[in-house]
Structure 1
Amino acid sequence: MTNEVATVGKETTKQEYNESEYPIPVFTSMGMFIIDEIHWPDQNKSLYNVLGGGGTFATFGARLVLGPEKSRQTAWIVDIGNDCPPEISDELLNKWNTGVVVRYDNSRKCTRGRNVYGANDFRSFNYMTQKLRIDIPDLLKYEHMLRSKSYHLICSPERCTEVLNNLKPLRLQKGDSDPVVVWEPIPDDCNPEHLGRCVKILDQVDVLSPNAAECAAFFNEKEPTNKENCERIGSKFLQYMTKNEHSGIVLRCGSLGCLCITKKGKKWFPAYHSDPKAADYKVIDPTGCGNSFVGAFAAAYVLSGFNFDLGCVFGTLASGLCIQLHGVPKVERHGDDDELWNGVSLEELLNRYLERNSALGIANDHIIDTLRNFDY
């Protein structure tokens, strides 16, 4: 029988869910927590018990932006089975200190995935245990998540619509405005056959954020390798982004960076690791970079009053941290307010990025403090 409990802070503190103990989130992910193993057969190399999952990476991105003081305004659901390594539960529940709801079930294993990498960008993924997807009934159990300022949805267009249709009347009862919705289509839907289904729901989405390969696949094209083709393909969706004046597309284009497309025009943001000669250049594993980007983008976008530039900058910083290692970036706390991710503070990352990319025209005038003190 499922032993469903909520926890605040530590895994050992088990108690019933109490809405009053959770702040209203800036960001909520409906992605999953997964424990990965990674194999490189050609290198005779393997890694086990690697923290992963779309929800985990996206939550990291938002948590990075929100910082230690507002860390609990990052919301998600983590299902922990009977085989969760203590170092992983400690990372999630103690070091991150998010507004997580943890559900324990000793009758099942954690959701686990197997990643295999090979030559010529080969990658395969399969679930090794039964996956436990976060769905609408899960969200409806937790009042604080229903009031979130933004949502990260990685799903089919039909499920996206179903989630939003269920949320709307409940939010109206609470007097809450429409949330910011950042949607990542699932790769299986990114093909010409499903294009119509996807564009049909874009009037309910604030930000569409596929990667360049997924975007091109909608039109039966190969992944674009230059900016001109990224702009051409990404722009095809702009006419459908009609939810409000803030709606737009953020196309994640790997080493080219990210492309923001709105009614105001197009703007490129270079990748954080764009210069192999830079002292901090470190490219190890792109897994989770897209989800991390979206989480950081959404949090910064909300906290900046819908500023695409700042959303893209902080999304780029999150993905830049993510690519430096296998799994999710590591956090170290120094006192109550200071923290380092992969050994570097967010302020230092931001300064480096803006100095290297002065053409963006963004000055670091206490941006992080401004975001974290934003009255939304």
Structure 2
Amino acid sequence: MSKADESSPWEGYSRSLVTLGKFIIDEFTFEDEDGRPTGRTMDPQIGGGGTYAVIGAHAWWRDDLLLFRLPANRLGMIVDKGDDFPTSIEQDLLHYGSDMWHFRVYPDCQTTRAINAYRGEHRSFEYKSSLPQLRPKDLKGTAFAKASALHFVCSAARALAITAQIKQEQGWNPVTIYEPIDYRCVPEELPELKRVLNSILILSPNAREALSLLSLPLTPTKALIEEAAAEFLSFGVGVDGNGWVVIRSGELGAYVKNRVQDGIWVDAFWTSDDEGKVVDVTGAGNGFLGGLAAGLALSNGDLYKAVFYASISASFIIEQGGLPRMSTDSTMWNGDNPYDRLEKLLKRHEDRKN
């Protein structure tokens, strides 16, 4: 996938990105490092890796008839509702665009909910209730069937089941964006991961997940991250090894490489030098991958350029707890224009090269 491709892999598809991530209502507890309640409270929030992914992609929609943009109706996510689903949360979702969501109702069931427990700087995550996981076959009969890009965050075993279902669908060859689930990124998972890699076009762990899977030292450095990317590629990412590895590395930026081209580093838009800008990194990796899918669609499949879009999407996610704020006309996010940030990041990258 490069800028020189004559035809876009997105032509002829109704949706540019659909996620199989599960919708979650997040609840929160806060304790200090000794386990004492801090007194801080937070209302239940919209959560789930898939939700952050489609919002990360949605940041690139502008209602502009003169310029091609990625509209909200090019995105999709199934939202499973129990009988406890809050009306306020449904309205918040609809604010981002009604065409993005396909609601399914589970009577006499609870919506998927999870506790995010903060103890000092450490966050743990545990489900309180859970509706079934989403599968490619769940997309049949919806506007989301046979999307051009499919995002999923899960174990390697489930990724293998997902890609097997995709192969059963005639005429569907989506860009697969696989985000390994954090708690399964351990050395024991590596053999299972190797089994699915040739069915994945884009593999994207974060830095610590990548290093843990490969039994490398867990303090990320650029050298170690580049070593990890090369090792994953040696296992055969993508059909005939033609896939990509994108390692999301927080303040270090993101490293992207395939088997035949040089890897590049793309900066994070915000760093620790930008005091007060980084509030909560929850969902940043998911939003990054949504931005990556949007960037692929908007750059005619240029994955290197798509990572710049991804970095900007993540920059909006980390500026607050929960989802970023969208203006009424969808052109501004958290009071800023994504395309202005993209221009600044591209210029920063060019200035360093020169």
Aligned to 1:24: 14
Q: 1:218 aligns with which of 195, 213, 218?
A: 213
1:310 is the counterpart of 2:305? yes
Q: 1:345 aligns with which of 337, 351, 354?
A: 337
Aligned to 1:231: 226
Output the CA distance in 2 between the equivalents of 1:167 and 1:67.
Answer: 31
Query: For residues 317 and 331 of structure 1, do their structure 2 counterparts lie closer, same or farther at Cα, with a shift above 3 Å needed?
Result: same
Aligned to 1:166: 165
TM-score (ref. length: structure 1): 0.81
Output the CA distance in 2 between the equivalents of 1:276 and 1:98.
Answer: 38
Aligned to 2:86: 85
Q: Work out whether residues 331 and 340 of structure 1, in 8 Å CA contact, stay in contact via their aligned partners in 2.
A: yes
Structure 2 spans left out of the alignment, 5+ residues: 1-12, 33-37, 64-69
User: What does 1:147-296 correspond to in 2, within 5 Å?
Assistant: 147-172=146-171, 176=172, 178-239=173-234, 240-243=236-239, 247-262=243-258, 263-274=260-271, 276-277=273-274, 282-296=277-291
Listed one character per residue, the Cα deviations across residues 286-314 of structure 1 (whole Å, up to 9, x for unaligned) are 10001111111022124423212221111
Aligned to 2:5: none
Output the CA distance in 2 between the equivalents of 1:184 and 1:128.
Answer: 23
CA drift at 1:226: 1.8
Query: For residues 171 and 46 of structure 1, do their structure 2 counterparts lie closer, same or farther at Cα, with a shift above 3 Å needed?
Result: farther
SS in 2 for 1:94: helix
Identity of matched residues, % = 27
CA drift at 1:277: 4.5
SS in 2 for 1:210: coil
Q: Work out whether residues 72 and 99 of structure 1, in 8 Å CA contact, stay in contact via their aligned partners in 2.
A: yes
Output the CA distance in 1 between the equivalents of 2:101 and 2:242.
Answer: 29
Structure 1 spans left out of the alignment, 5+ residues: 1-22, 363-376
Residue identity opposite 2:72 in structure 1? S
Aligned to 1:94: 95
Q: Work out whether residues 152 and 178 of structure 2, in 8 Å CA contact, stay in contact via their aligned partners in 1.
A: yes
Output the CA distance in 1 between the equivalents of 2:285 and 2:218.
Answer: 15
Query: For residues 246 and 299 of structure 1, do their structure 2 counterparts lie closer, same or farther at Cα, with a shift above 3 Å needed?
Result: farther
Aligned to 2:66: none
CA drift at 1:361: 6.5
Alpha-carbon RMSD across the aligned residues, in angstroms, is 2.3
1:354 is the counterpart of 2:350? no
CA drift at 1:74: 0.2
Q: Work out whether residues 246 and 306 of structure 1, in 8 Å CA contact, stay in contact via their aligned partners in 2.
A: no
Aligned to 2:134: 134
Listed one character per residue, the Cα deviations across residues 170-193 of structure 1 (whole Å, up to 9, x for unaligned) are 233xxx4x2100111122332222
Q: Work out whether residues 150 and 302 of structure 1, in 8 Å CA contact, stay in contact via their aligned partners in 2.
A: no
CA drift at 1:225: 2.8
CA drift at 1:360: 6.5
Between 30-39 and 183-192, report the one with greater CA deviation: 183-192
Listed one character per residue, the Cα deviations across residues 119-143 of structure 1 (whole Å, up to 9, x for unaligned) are 3x4111111223432124422343x
TM-score (ref. length: structure 2): 0.86
Q: Work out whether residues 113 and 125 of structure 1, in 8 Å CA contact, stay in contact via their aligned partners in 2.
A: yes
Aligned to 1:50: 45
Q: Work out whether residues 112 and 131 of structure 1, in 8 Å CA contact, stay in contact via their aligned partners in 2.
A: no
Q: Work out whether residues 254 and 265 of structure 2, in 8 Å CA contact, stay in contact via their aligned partners in 1.
A: yes
Q: Size of the alignment, in residue pairs?
A: 329
Output the CA distance in 2 between the equivalents of 1:348 and 1:94.
Answer: 23
